């Protein structure tokens, strides 16, 4: 039973198609990554998932029911543009946000204290938000998202702007939530993070899905045609016919093998044999699977990552 | 409904606790009382206590003037009479002025014919001493009149009787209250309403902008509807305004009943605000606040910063300013056609209809019509504002133009 299910969702603003034929589903106990360059429709999709905006066509289902606002009490949402009431005390703020998600004041207070202890920011509880450091505010923001123990956690670019310590903390928290059986949706344009955390991903570009599936399936579909190599001695073997291109770095060389028609991954053994035969001393010879980033670039194009940030907010 | 309550409660509590609320609550009545007392003091003529000399051939005229200036109700001067003057008088007086013994002298040259007035020449020590000059001018009129009447053969007692000031008592039909203070009360409440609607309307807009700049609204929108958010804000901010007014009114009633203020302000100032006046005040304040704050909410949702809001301020300020300009029309003729029409325009109703009610009760159908018209307008504005709000609140970066705003209204 998927926690979230989008089916053929489409949203158009004036003449610009923000999202088109968007479908994905998230199972409980999994982390789902919504990946894509800036302006590709990630935020638009997320906003439609939680009813901030309504799709022009297509359906959104939450907890296996057609979308209703009451379901939102089971959702924790961390928007890309984060913010808190600056002049409000941390504890009042957390209670207020907890109450908006259906908690009573007593429960909200108790949980706020528990979370602050867990995040090691108990000293911040009586303070005003504006008095806190940026890192502390980020922690408060996580707490406010998770205070009502949501079954679905949605985070839009949660890692952007985080210091490494809080980034690590958030990662651990997400993994812990997955263990508790929560469904987690997060969007990012940082592929290394997605690769580490996600069970499944959907890659979108210009409002369209370009790649979707579980991380394992996606990787298996891509050829293992890269070799990381470190050696001493002659380098003539790099011109072996099975090598399509290579890049020399201090200490190691990256090789891309030529695709062989009819097979998914080319055989690297002839190259290794040739290297040994040429007299080079091999200290490392590793066949690596493509990184998500490489897949992403292949699918979206190199420009995708660096595309100028368009007006990324649509109503 | 629960969400509206949560938003309103937060808005209310956070605002009540601020220092600026405390300061405003204390400062505005102080400024208002100060302004009223100040204008009262200005209107009752300032008294001069100068030491002057009056030089005249006509001793009777000089003595009359001395009497008026020393004991009259407008002045408390010390007056020397020199009559008749000798050749050295002018030099002596000039020396005395230079020695600062005299503040000035009035030289009266007798009239050349029987029907003409004498000539008066005032030589002050300081040309800036306007008050003394005005006192002398106003004292001369009754003195001259008295003298002329005496010339015509009237007896002194008859002249005094004729010169008695006239007292006119005003009572509103069917009421025994003092209308001056009733008008006074209405006037104060009019400006109170004007002020609070403007102030708290702007506060609604500001509070929305604050949430836009702090980006908190998107977290809120994940559980509540924009309409609930807007309603909560308007109710919360409006309650703060009502609280403030309540504090002021209670303080005013307590202070005036202890006659502390009345003795302070000269003896005859006391506020008469009837229960009906307060009831209508609250009704029209609520309607007016609802109308203007929903406009403000839309303005706040359209803009990204206080500076941008300033440019759109006129939509709030203009209709209110028109009400203040129209106040003169209403006060002069509360039941006239012009007043009736103006007070039925929903944007002016809260202030002007309230003023009419305070001055002379308009027909019940007009009050009913004004409330119906206001409710209709408020509904329409809320409809438009909530749509602008819903879309506008998610827009940041650029300011929308009019065609864009028109498109927002059509979004579902």
From chain B, the residues in CB contact with A81 under 8 A are: 215, 218, 396
Pair of tokens at residue B60: 């009777």
Closest by Cα among A137, A255, A117 to B215? A137
Q: How confident is the model at residue B176 (pLDDT cuts 50, 70, 90)?
A: very low
Query: What value of ipTM does the predicted structure carry?
Result: 0.73
What span, in angstroms and rounded, lies between the C-alpha atoms of A234 and A161? Answer: 46
Identify whether residues A208 and A233 lie together within a single domain: no
What is the pLDDT averaged over residues A291-303? 73
> Could you tell me where the beta strands, DSSP code E, fall in B45-175?
51-56, 78-82, 104-109, 119-124
What CATH number does the domain containing A187 carry?
3.40.50.300
Confirm or reject contact between A50 and chain B (CB < 8 A): yes
The pLDDT assigned to A306 comes to 43
The pLDDT assigned to A305 comes to 45
The answer to whether residue A299 is domain-embedded is: no
Closest by Cα among A176, A174, A202 to A187? A202
From chain B, the residues in CB contact with A54 under 8 A are: 412
What is the pLDDT averaged over residues B245-262? 69
Identify whether residues A177 and A235 lie together within a single domain: no
The CA angle A149-A154-A156, to the nearest 5 degrees, is 140
* Least confident residue range of A89-93, B148-152, B262-266, B294-298: B262-266
- As a whole number, the mean pLDDT across chain B is 78
What span, in angstroms and rounded, lies between the C-alpha atoms of B383 and B225? Answer: 14
Query: Which of the listed ranges A78-82, B5-9, B221-225, B266-270 does the model predict with the highest average pLDDT?
Result: B5-9
Give the containing element (helix H, strand E) for B331.
helix B314-332
The pLDDT assigned to A31 comes to 93
The answer to whether residue A306 is domain-embedded is: no
Tell me the domain boundaries of chain B: 2-36+178-410, 51-160
Confirm or reject contact between A43 and chain B (CB < 8 A): no
Of the two residues B275 and A205, the one the predictor is more confident about is A205
The answer to whether residue A293 is domain-embedded is: no
Phi, psi of B188 (to 5 degrees): -65, -45
Q: How confident is the model at residue A26 (pLDDT cuts 50, 70, 90)?
A: very high
SS3 A283: strand
Q: State how many domains chain A has.
A: 2
Residues 14-43 of B with CB under 8 A from A: 14, 18
Q: How confident is the model at residue A304 (pLDDT cuts 50, 70, 90)?
A: very low
Identify whether residues A168 and A256 lie together within a single domain: no
Q: How confident is the model at residue B182 (pLDDT cuts 50, 70, 90)?
A: low
> Does position A135 have pLDDT exceeding 90, yes or no?
no
Identify whether residues A39 and A61 lie together within a single domain: yes
**Cβ(A274)–Cβ(A233) under 8 Å?**
no
* CA of A185 vs chain B CAs: smallest distance (Å): 15
From chain B, the residues in CB contact with A79 under 8 A are: 215, 218-219, 222
**Cβ(A115)–Cβ(A143) under 8 Å?**
yes
Residue whose tokens read 């670019």: A157
The answer to whether residue A175 is domain-embedded is: yes
Confirm or reject contact between A46 and chain B (CB < 8 A): no
Give counts: helices (H), strands (E), chain B. Answer: 17, 4
Q: Which domain holds residue A38?
A: 4-213
Q: Which residue of A has its CA nearest to B389?
A: A315
What CATH number does the domain containing A279 carry?
3.30.70
> Does position B400 have pLDDT exceeding 80, yes or no?
no
Across the interface, of A75, A81, A88, the residue whose CB is closest to B222 is A75
* CA of B385 vs chain A CAs: smallest distance (Å): 16
Identify whether residues A266 and A198 lie together within a single domain: no
Closest by Cα among A175, A204, A201 to A33? A201
The pLDDT assigned to B45 comes to 54
The pLDDT assigned to B110 comes to 79
Which of residues A213, A238, A266 is at a domain's end?
A: A213
Q: What is the DSSP string of A62-75?
A: ETTEE--GGGGGGE
* CA of A14 vs chain B CAs: smallest distance (Å): 9
Percent of the residues in chain B that have a pLDDT greater than 90, as a whole number: 2
Interchain contact, A313 vs B396, CB within 8 Å: yes
Residue whose tokens read 């906003």: A47
> Does position A308 have pLDDT exceeding 60, yes or no?
no
Sign of the dihedral defined by the CA atoms of residues B304, B306, B310, B314, in that order: positive
Identify whether residues A68 and A36 lie together within a single domain: yes
Residue whose tokens read 């408020």: B378
Identify whether residues A73 and A39 lie together within a single domain: yes
The answer to whether residue A301 is domain-embedded is: no
Identify whether residues A183 and A97 lie together within a single domain: yes
Q: What is the pLDDT of residues A153-191, one digit of tens each?
A: 999 888 887 888 888 888 898 999 999 999 999 998 888
Instruction: State the fold for domain B51-160.
Output: D-Maltodextrin-Binding Protein; domain 2 (3.40.190)
Pair of tokens at residue B244: 């403030």
The pLDDT assigned to A180 comes to 92
Phi, psi of A233 (to 5 degrees): 105, -165
Q: How many CB atoms lie within 10 A of CB A41?
A: 27
Across the interface, of A53, A85, A101, the residue whose CB is closest to B214 is A85
Q: What is the pLDDT of residues B126-153, one digit of tens each?
A: 777 777 888 888 888 888 888 878 877 7
* Least confident residue range of A97-106, A164-173, A250-259, B386-395: B386-395
């Amino acid at each position: 039973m998927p926690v979230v299910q989008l089916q053929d969702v489409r949203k158009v603003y004036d003449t610009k198609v923000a999202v088109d034929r968007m479908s994905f589903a998230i199972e409980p106990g999994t982390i789902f990554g919504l990946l894509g360059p800036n302006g590709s429709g990630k935020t638009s999709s997320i906003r439609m998932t939680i009813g901030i905006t309504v799709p022009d066509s297509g359906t959104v289902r939450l907890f296996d029911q057609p979308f209703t606002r009451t379901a939102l009490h089971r959702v924790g949402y961390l928007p890309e543009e984060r913010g808190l009431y600056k002049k409000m005390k941390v504890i009042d703020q957390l209670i207020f946000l907890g109450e908006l998600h259906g908690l009573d004041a007593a429960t909200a207070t108790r949980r706020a204290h528990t979370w602050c202890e867990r995040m090691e920011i108990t000293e911040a509880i009586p303070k005003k938000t504006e008095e806190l450091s940026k890192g502390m505010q980020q922690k408060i923001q996580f707490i406010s998202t998770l205070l009502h123990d949501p079954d679905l956690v949605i985070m839009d670019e949660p890692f952007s702007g985080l210091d490494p310590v809080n980034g690590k903390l958030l990662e651990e928290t997400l993994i812990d939530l997955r263990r508790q059986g929560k469904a987690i949706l997060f969007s990012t344009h940082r592929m290394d993070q997605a690769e580490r955390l996600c069970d499944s991903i959907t890659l979108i570009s210009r409002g369209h899905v370009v790649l979707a599936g579980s991380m394992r399936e996606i990787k298996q579909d891509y050829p293992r045609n890269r070799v990381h190599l470190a050696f001493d001695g002659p380098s003539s073997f790099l011109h072996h016919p099975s090598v399509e291109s290579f890049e020399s770095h201090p200490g190691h060389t990256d090789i891309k093998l030529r695709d062989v028609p009819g097979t998914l991954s080319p055989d690297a053994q002839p190259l290794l044999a040739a290297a040994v035969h040429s007299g080079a001393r091999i200290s490392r010879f590793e066949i690596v699977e493509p990184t998500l980033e490489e897949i992403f670039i292949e699918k979206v194009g190199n420009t995708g990552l660096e595309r100028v940030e368009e007006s990324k907010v649509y109503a | 409904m629960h969400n509206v309550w949560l938003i309103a409660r937060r808005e209310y509590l956070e605002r009540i606790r601020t220092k600026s609320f405390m300061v405003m609550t204390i400062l505005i009545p102080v400024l208002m009382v100060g302004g009223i007392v100040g204008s009262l003091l200005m209107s009752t003529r300032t008294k001069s206590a100068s030491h002057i000399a009056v030089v005249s051939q006509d001793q009777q005229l000089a003595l009359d003037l001395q009497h008026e200036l020393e004991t009259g109700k407008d002045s408390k001067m010390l007056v020397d009479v020199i009559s008749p003057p000798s050749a050295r008088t002018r030099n002596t007086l000039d020396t005395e002025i230079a020695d600062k013994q005299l503040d000035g002298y009035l030289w009266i040259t007798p009239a050349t014919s029987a029907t003409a007035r004498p000539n008066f020449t005032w030589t002050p020590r300081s040309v800036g001493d306007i008050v003394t000059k005005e006192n002398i001018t106003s004292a001369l009129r009754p003195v001259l009149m008295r003298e002329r009447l005496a010339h015509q053969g009237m007896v002194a007692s008859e002249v005094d009787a004729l010169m008695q000031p006239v007292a006119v008592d005003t009572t509103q039909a069917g009421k025994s209250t003092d209308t001056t203070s009733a008008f006074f009360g209405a006037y104060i409440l009019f400006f109170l309403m004007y002020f609070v609607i403007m102030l708290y309307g702007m506060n609604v807009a500001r509070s929305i902008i604050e949430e836009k700049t702090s980006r908190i609204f998107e977290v809120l929108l994940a559980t509540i509807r924009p309409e609930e958010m807007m309603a909560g804000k308007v109710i919360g901010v409006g309650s703060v305004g009502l609280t403030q007014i309540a504090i002021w009114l209670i303080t005013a009633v307590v202070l005036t009943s202890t006659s502390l203020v009345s003795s302070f302000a000269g003896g005859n100032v006391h506020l008469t605000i009837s229960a009906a006046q307060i009831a209508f005040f609250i009704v029209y304040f609520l309607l007016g606040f609802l109308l203007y704050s929903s406009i403000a909410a839309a303005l706040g949702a359209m803009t990204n910063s206080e500076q941008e809001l300033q440019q759109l301020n006129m939509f709030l300020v203009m209709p209110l300013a028109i009400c203040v300009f129209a106040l003169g029309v209403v006060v002069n003729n509360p039941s006239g056609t012009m007043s009736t029409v103006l007070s039925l325009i929903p944007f002016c109703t809260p202030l002007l209809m309230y003023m009419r009610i305070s001055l002379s009760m308009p027909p019940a159908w007009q009050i009913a019509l004004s409330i119906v018209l206001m409710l209709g307008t408020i509904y329409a504005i809320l409809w438009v504002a909530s749509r602008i709000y819903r879309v506008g609140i998610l827009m940041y970066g650029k300011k929308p133009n009019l065609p864009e705003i028109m498109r927002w209204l059509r979004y579902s």
